[in-house]
Amino acid sequence: MWLGYFEQFPDTVTQGDSRSDLEENLRDLYRDLTSGEIPGIRSVAELAME
């Protein structure tokens, strides 16, 4: 079993039976997270101040 997540979206985790299965699930998850269709998604970003 393979587990994966995006550092930008730490609250979400997906899994796959193989690495290629996990990669496909990660692509689907990223598309869902960045589509704007799911409200309340928490993301992490860096803040640069001058």
Distance from C-alpha of 22 to C-alpha of 28, rounded to nearest angstrom: 10
pLDDT computed for residue 28 by the predictor: 96
Report percent pLDDT > 90 for the chain: 66
Q: Cβ distance 30 to 18 under 8 Å?
A: no
pLDDT computed for residue 45 by the predictor: 86
Find the range with the poorest average confidence among 3-7, 15-19, 36-40.
36-40
* Residues 23-41 pLDDT 10s: 999 999 999 999 988 888 8
